[in-house]
Amino acid sequence: MHYRELGTSGIEVSEVGFGAWVVGTDWWGDRSDEDSIEMIHHAIDQGITFFDTGDVYGLGHSEEVVGEALADYRDEVTVATKVGYDFYNNPQAGHGELPKVITGEWVREATEKSLERLDMEYVDLLQLHNANVEEVTPDVLETLDELKEEGLIKATGWALGPSIGWLAEGDMAITEEFDALQIVWNMFEQEVGNHFLDTIDETGSETSLIARVPHSSGLLNEQVRPETELGAGDHRGFRPDEWYETGWEKLETLRFLERDGERSMAQASIAWLLGFDATAAVTPTFRTKDDITEWAAASDVPKLSDEEMQRVADLYADNFGIDRFDGMDALRSSVGGDDIRDAGLDKRVAEGARNEA
């Protein structure tokens, strides 16, 4: 395992991190707390030191599990959490988004409650969870600075989702010199990552990128195949058929990245993200200890060559040679979709709706 610095914070993270949204929730399969703790300990054995959770995951339960699992390793690991959702006063309805509260007062209160659940004196990285630009006021920024000064947090981040705020939010995180910006980013979904790489270059910012969903929700690691039957609660079951069908076709064009015995497609998907200097860590969605063993090793597999990186970029620019949409454009838009469209990133707007019903 190799390690990188998070922004200019001096905080070190493992190149492959553990996304703790899989523990304390049932969105990625049922498992006991004992199983979750065993997974976290196995991750540590594989060299993983970066653990990323959030207060809303399992309505606080993920933090409790992570805190218990890491109690004997606190000085050896980097712990991140997220705040911004009011699950204290609102019930979770399926996979729907809960109401957000992002004010200076709320950020402080939520952080203190997270520390109680984690049973930790500080969190290494505190991230605003899906905050919109207008919500991150001077009061919120001042509170983050105060939490740093008080030693309750070591670094600041902004975690974004594809349907809840995107370009303007990430650009603000970069220009405001947040230490980390977490985004959905993979070989099938490159637009937003490319945009933020450009923003970092243009501004000279030291903000690091944390990439989640590196396997495009099971396509790039081949855990979702044509014959796969998804469980009733699996969030991927809400995706359109076109997403699967085009994904399997795209995957075949990337087979050149595999190296028998040296680099699997799942590892190559992580290694591709680590090929960008701005990337600090990649957080796959581990479901089993076997996943952890294989994907943690992606930090040590042969790096992608410049030629391989360029070939992936060229394939993406040509939509992998596929002349139809994957049915996901509407789900990728941010609030109102305006910033995506203004940047020319909505294919239906930029190229015309070739797939109209």
Residue-wise pLDDT tens digits, 255-309? 999 988 899 999 999 999 999 999 999 999 998 999 999 999 999 999 999 999 9
User: Would you state the pLDDT for residue 149?
Assistant: 97
Structure tokens that stand for 233 in this block: 């609660």
Structure tokens that stand for 298 in this block: 């992606």
The residue extents of the domains of the chain are 3-343
pTM above 0.85, yes or no: yes
Residues of the chain with pLDDT under 70: 24-31, 90-97, 162-165, 224-240, 327-357
Closest CA to 79 of 35, 32, 26, 18: 18
Q: Which are the contacts of 85, defined by CB distance < 8 A and separation ≥ 6?
A: 55, 56, 97, 98, 99, 100, 101, 129, 130
The third-level CATH classification (topology) of the domain covering 3-343 is TIM Barrel (3.20.20)
